[in-house]
Amino acid sequence: MSVCAILALAPVGVKEAHGIGPAARRLRHRYITVYTTSCSFVLSLYAPKGKRRHEPPVNAAPSSLWNNRDFLKLWAAHTAETLGSLMGALAFTAVLVLEASPQQMALLAAAGTAPGLVVGLPAGVWVDRLRRRLVLVAADAGRALALASIPAAYFAGVLRMEQMYAVAFIAGLLDVFFDVAHPSFVPVVVRRDQLVEANSKMSATASAMEIGAFSLSGWIVQLWSAMVSVAVNAATFAVSGLLLMLIRVRETQPGPLGPQGPASLQGELVQGLRFLWRHPLLRALSVAHVLRGLSNGVIGALILLFGIRELGFAPGVLGMIFAVGGVSSLGGAFLATRLTHRFGIGPVLVAMGLFIGVAMLFIPLARGPLVLAGAFLVAQQLLGDWAWTVYDINELSLRQAVTPDRVRGRVNSTVRWLSVGATFLGALLAGAAVSFVGMRWTLALGAVATLLATAVLALSPVRRVKDTPQETAT
């Protein structure tokens, strides 16, 4: 009991001894309440900061994500950034404005993907040295400015493919830093036990953007022009950057890994790789990630050719079939949290990996009349894409939970680099394998790689993980 409360009760005892009526008793209670509250407030002003009992933690996240304003801003920024990343405005401009050849389009695509292989690993070191929100805002601002240079050059009459290559390279470079910093920043904004729910919400809107982003860009080009599409694309990144600037959560400067800290970029990189490989959960997830990347490279390189040349589908019909996958992914985003709460992260990862692998086999099994072949492809989209989404949400959440903040950027960049490299290697292997076993059997091998990734998880400690674990000390 506070000193003020004790002093307040002294006159109360005197009044009780003389006997008072109900009205006086009510007045006495009001007096006590006001007096003790005022005294406690005055004393709290002079109490040391660390002694204030009711002072909340600096980054105390609300119990519900809907009440977490910083997460809502991050979610909205992620939606805008995803829309911009999927619009394809550069491709529309190259084809419709500059009449690019197939070789030039290949160079444009290579310019956008090359930074992922070149700076994918060092990017994690830099992200761990800086505040992640600053990296995200800078990446958005850089991409917005790079895209804005295209309409400026067009109206000045100096737009050329060389500038398109440069913009694609800059955007691809900044994509790397954004993609590494974003999953590293999410655990700063939400609690560890909210990671699956947070990633599910962001994945849901990303799936919606996957359905409509490219179509939106196409309609903008058709109704107005490619330059308007580029301008809208730049605006999405600007909006994302502004929303990220409004986030008020305090982010501490990440410290060095180890007591003394590494002496060089190479040393930090090696320490990050060593941490990932020595952690049993991260090691299993990374091996599975490589096998999935190989599968994606094989199937991604051949699926359009297989659908058009082998099965005889028109491009528009294939586009409609693939759109089914976007709707299925949206459903997976809504189911992810419920499935994880009921069965646990590890069992869900293994089950979803099995779903994905079996669904992948439907692609090489597709044959016969267009209706039958189309049914196989639609079944793959319905059964596989929702499982992909649930898998990705849980895999990312588990990686975020077990990785310490000071090494999170390096772990995320390594996983991203392994995925990009494996996908690239898978595409090369697909081209070589088709010459020996044909397109259908090569696609089957791609599906088998996904099943092998599932086997890796099933034989690892990942399968036993139920709840979101604590981060591992370094």
Dihedral class, residue 312 (left if φ above 0, else alpha if ψ from -120 to 50, else beta): left
What does the pLDDT look like over 236-279, one tens digit per residue? 999 999 999 999 888 776 555 444 454 577 777 777 788 888 88
Task: Check if CATH label 2.40.50.140 holds for domain 64-252.
Answer: no
- Mention every residue, 6+ apart, whose C-beta is less than 8 A from residue 405: 184, 187, 188, 254, 471
Burial (CB < 10 A; 0-12, 13-18, 19+), residue 449, is buried
What does the pLDDT look like over 26-66, one tens digit per residue? 434 443 343 333 434 333 333 444 333 333 344 455 668 88
End-to-end C-alpha distance for the chain, whole angstroms: 44
Contact indicator for 430, 294 with CB cutoff of 8 Å: no
Give the closest residue to 231 by CA, choosing from 153, 114, 165: 153
Contact indicator for 356, 387 with CB cutoff of 8 Å: yes
More confident residue, 280 or 416: 280
Q: How far apart are CA 169 and CA 95, in angstroms?
A: 18
Buried b or exposed e, range 258-269, using 16+ CB within 10 angstroms = eeeebeeeeebb
Dihedral class, residue 388 (left if φ above 0, else alpha if ψ from -120 to 50, else beta): alpha
Longest dimension (CA), the chain: 107
Domain pair 64-252 / 265-474, same fold: yes
What does the pLDDT look like over 103-128, one tens digit per residue? 777 678 778 878 888 887 788 888 87
101: its two tokens:
């050849």
Please state the rounded mean pLDDT for residues 364-376: 90
Read off the pLDDT band of 299 (50, 70, 90).
Answer: confident
Q: How far apart are CA 21 and CA 12, in angstroms?
A: 13
CATH of domain 265-474: 1.20.1250.20
Buried b or exposed e, range 105-123, using 16+ CB within 10 angstroms = eebbeebbbebbeebbbbb
Cα dihedral across residues 17, 19, 25, 30: positive or negative:
negative
- Mention every residue, 6+ apart, whose C-beta is less than 8 A from residue 406: 128, 254, 255, 256, 257, 474
pTM: 0.68
Domains of the chain by residue range: 3-51, 64-252, 265-474
Contact indicator for 376, 400 with CB cutoff of 8 Å: no
Read off the pLDDT band of 326 (50, 70, 90).
Answer: confident
- Mention every residue, 6+ apart, whose C-beta is less than 8 A from residue 139: 174, 175, 177, 178, 181
What does the pLDDT look like over 189-200, one tens digit per residue? 888 788 888 888
For all residues of the chain together, what is the average pLDDT?
79
Please state the rounded mean pLDDT for residues 380-395: 90
